[in-house]
Amino acid sequence: MHDEGGEGSRWPARAREVVRTPRALGECGLLGSVECPVYSLQVDAAPGSALGEHLGGARPHPDAVFVPDRAEWVLHMPATGENAPQDTSAVRTLLAEEDVRAEEHYVTDAVHGPVPFHDMLRHSDLGRDWGVLTSVPGQVPATLPRDVWDAFRTAREQTPAPGITPRTEVARAVALLVRIFGDALAGTARAVPVQGKAFSQQLRWDESSQAIFTFVGWHTAPLEDGREALQVPAYLHVDAPGDDALGEAEATSETPPDDASRSDARAEAPAPSEAPSADVLRLIRVYLELAAWCVHFGGTPPVPETGIALHVAQHSALTPFGSCALPPTPPHDQGLRRAYARLGVPSDATPEATVQGYRVNAAAFPHRLQELFLALEAVHDARPQTEALGVLLAMEKSKGLYTHADVRASYEHLGIAVPILAAPESLPLWDDAPMPASDDAAIIAAYDRRVRDVLDHGTDDGLRDATLALTILSRYHNTPALAARLAKSPVADVAQAYRLIQVSDDIDDGLVVVAYEVYVAETTTRQELLRAALYCIAESRGSSYLRRYLAGDAEEEAGPPFSAPRGLQNIGNTCYLNSVLQYFFRISLLRTTVLEMGRTAQSMDASQPLPTIGGRQLFSEMQSSPSAAVTPAKELAYLALVPLAWEQAYRASGEDAPDTLLNHVGTQQDVSECLDNMIFQIQAAMTCYPDATWAAQQGSDVHRLFVGRTAQQLQQATASMHVKEEEFQSIPVTLLPEADSMYDALDTFFDDEELVGEDGKPVRRSVSLVHAPPLLQMQVQRVQYDRARHRAVKNQAGIELEEHLYLDRYMDLAAYPPDEAKRLATVQSAARSDRQEIARLRTRLTHVLGDDQLLPGHMETLEKALTSIPVESYASLPALLGEDKLEALRTTAETLRGEAEQIRTVLHAKRRELQERWADERSVSYRLAAVFMHRGEASHGHYFLDQRDFASDGWISYNDARVNTIPFGEVQRDPTGATSYLVVYVRSDVQEQGLLENARSAS
């Protein structure tokens, strides 16, 4: 039964909407203070005693346990009856849909409990119909007042007997209290002389001990011999005073001696038929609490001689969950503790357990995905070297989720100070930290200023950056004002919109569109700005015509139109495979070959050898499936991602290669390796095709698609030239400083190189292109080894992707007519000199600026740091480092920066000169066709594919199951920070024959 009010308001939805492990429940405070042990107390008492008759009514609940450290009673019990485990079928369905397992994971809600534990939390196991109820702390405090107990304990800890530790002193004093009260409740009560030897040594009569006896109704009175003694209260029906047996006994460190010398005078217990008084119940409760305290301090509570057995057992709050392990010592960073709590795992969780916690909660509560992602980011930042967290972070970020770093960058981009609000220490870990206050007016004003600046002298990139910043802040703060501004056109001022399109506000919609199209055709960098201005005008006018024009008259669809490409589900870190499959599917010759082989394989009888190939029907599904995304077969992933050498090695060892190596599917792979392996597998499968002639022809045609040929020439100054031709499927290119075009990258492959021959003489090596392949694949070498940090790093530099590429400059001249070859040789010679000069300038620039291009900045930083040192703190500093040396640092930095600028000017002029030499040579023409993108670092990340749709001359982004049309600007500069990894150009003459096409529309 859910608590709809009262306690429910203390446990809000955000606290319930987390799936937690038992130790996470404990660490985040939903089980109370789990580091505090709890004690169960079982008493077997004679039926005629007050303890035996009224024990059940004295305890708060039969299953209640006592927590000495918090001086309170709590209740942990199975969830049964009206508080049976909640129905978690909806959550289990969500987990099943995402193929996520959740064993020993619990969801928590608030329910009413038995009196006096009105407020309970119900923890329901997602894996079985079972749960645990735990009481909310602070409901049933100890009967003995906390101040009375604290005074008693402190007095004994501060003055222990010689040779006795403070804890032992407390334990033996409490043991005697338990003995006295137990005797009284068992019906063997007697007066206790307060100056007796055992009492004085173990308990001591002082203000703090007197307060305990007074609280339970005991008082002092003189015995017949005049000694002061504690008298059993009237509510226990005392009818005879006791003797001084206890006072005369020899004391021990724990308990008084046997009672053989005691008087037979006893206090009679209340008759069974009598209802217990509140005093009796209070004394029983105090007796049980003191017994628990005694064990907690290391003692053993004594029991009376009248058949009463007292059992005190120590437990943990996690015991009902079947766990004895306590939560870890939490990290000092409260924000990190909250991140683990949001993920539902303890703060010592392994990376794999953390990933599992994220996946379970993301599947169970998808509307909390962004909050989970921010928590994952916090954990990853604390564990930056953890690959599993890094890969998951990169994959999830590609879904459009933002990080705290994105929020900070958004504020900084808009020129606003980042608000900081630390969570109060009193806020429970299960609750979310409060959001920093959002100054919506300031954010909107800053955004509008940024947009105005972009409209005046910016580009589409500036508009995208400003809009992205507002988008992130709107999602982060989730305020109506920011959402409303984001929903409107970035151009808020309609007068400015008219000025941008250069029309007046009194012309009709048709002329507005004409003007818009004219200016859009004239620019490639401000098209989105113009579109935003047109949107502003459409909204200002309320024009349905302009709105339809902007929407392209597209009708709302329940799913993607038939002609739209389909995505591919990621079956375990196979984003690189999905990118290759989408690339291959677009190649008409390759697609038709695979489809034909798939149809033939279905008709072949069992006696014929079948090719080792998987996923024959994938291309068929991609061509005809109505679903937005299809799923590759695991066998196909195995063939594509497991190199043949691995398979042969495993088979040589006698192991079952497919079963063993299938585990490798899902590890981080190189997309170029995957591509080469896929081509090899297709060619290998063709060898088993029934029609050998067809297979040979198709295999040859497929081979020619990707394969080019180069000529390597080695020539000494006085010797003959040695020429060697080689085939290639991809060209490795390198990114150099001050080089950002594809031609710069290709130059690193085709540039001449001076080598040393076997005879020690210099040899010039040159490479030329003999055959330009239909599909030119260039792999950008981004992974480099950082010698300073001793690890591989990724070069994140951008590269300009020319829409058209002309390879005339790299072609071998042997195939040209003599006159043409002679003319081109002259151009090549001049271009070679240009490239040599460019290389020299780059080397000089590196010498001036340092390897990281930041040497002047480092010098200025050093000068500022030295200047800021107080001279009085270092008397010898002026003698060691005078003003002249500081000035030298400043002037040297300025000199280096000026020299670098001069070098750059000459370098850029020389690059322009080089390009102009080849401006008219366009016979070997290519168009940009596809770009494999990589987001992440050298050791981990995420691949996706941007591919041109030649029918519409637009671009489509294939990101696993997500397929979207994107502007070319996002291919050039991906907004998520991804960089080009493998760049594909298609030769213009073969594309005119439809080599790359949309198979959906073609079918």
Give the pLDDT score at 50.
Answer: 64
Residue 266 pLDDT exceeds 70: no
Which is more confidently placed, 863 or 1000? Answer: 1000
Mean pLDDT value across residues 607-612: 51
Mean pLDDT value across residues 329-349: 84
Mean pLDDT value across residues 150-154: 95
The pTM (predicted TM-score) of the whole model is: 0.50
Which is more confidently placed, 307 or 219? Answer: 219
Give the pLDDT score at 471.
Answer: 92
Residue type, 600: T
Residue 764 pLDDT exceeds 90: no
Residue 168 near residue 295, CB atoms below 8 Å: no
Neighbours of 816 (CB within 10 A): 16
- Domain extent listing, the chain: 7-46+59-142+319-364, 146-308, 366-551, 574-682
Q: Tokens representing 643?
A: 């190199």
Note the pLDDT tens digit of each residue in 80-107: 888 899 988 889 889 988 889 888 899 9
Neighbours of 874 (CB within 10 A): 11
Give the pLDDT score at 158.
Answer: 94
Q: Which CA distances in Å does 522 have to 373, 502, 507, 518, 736?
A: 42, 13, 22, 7, 32
Low-confidence winner among 558-572, 823-837, 898-912 (lowest mean pLDDT): 558-572
Q: What span, in angstroms and rounded, lies between the C-alpha atoms of 237 and 235?
A: 5
Q: At what angle are helices 855-867 and 883-917 packed, to 10 degrees?
A: 160
Residue 739 pLDDT exceeds 70: yes
Q: What span, in angstroms and rounded, lies between the C-alpha atoms of 779 and 979?
A: 12
**648 burial via Cβ count (<10 Å: 0-12, 13-18, 19+):** exposed
Note the pLDDT tens digit of each residue in 623-646: 888 888 898 887 777 766 665 555
Residue type, 479: T
Strand order in the sheet with 192-193: 192-193, 228-231, 219-222
Residue 186 pLDDT exceeds 90: no
pLDDT band (50, 70, 90) for residue 902:
confident
Q: What span, in angstroms and rounded, lies between the C-alpha atoms of 974 and 218?
A: 82
pLDDT band (50, 70, 90) for residue 562:
confident
Mean pLDDT value across residues 397-403: 88
Residue 143 pLDDT exceeds 90: yes
Q: What span, in angstroms and rounded, lies between the C-alpha atoms of 896 and 893?
A: 5
Give the pLDDT score at 847.
Answer: 77
Q: At what angle are helices 527-541 and 544-551 packed, to 10 degrees?
A: 150
Residue 8 pLDDT exceeds 70: no
3-state secondary structure at position 919: coil
Backbone φ, ψ for residue 606 (5° rounding): -65, -20
Mean pLDDT value across residues 807-818: 91
Give the pLDDT score at 48.
Answer: 61
Mean pLDDT value across residues 502-517: 84
> Rounded mean pLDDT of the chain?
81
> Where do we find the tokens 């739209």?
564
Q: Which CA distances in Å does 868 have to 41, 829, 861, 874, 878?
A: 68, 55, 11, 12, 13
Mean pLDDT value across residues 663-690: 70
Mean pLDDT value across residues 254-270: 40
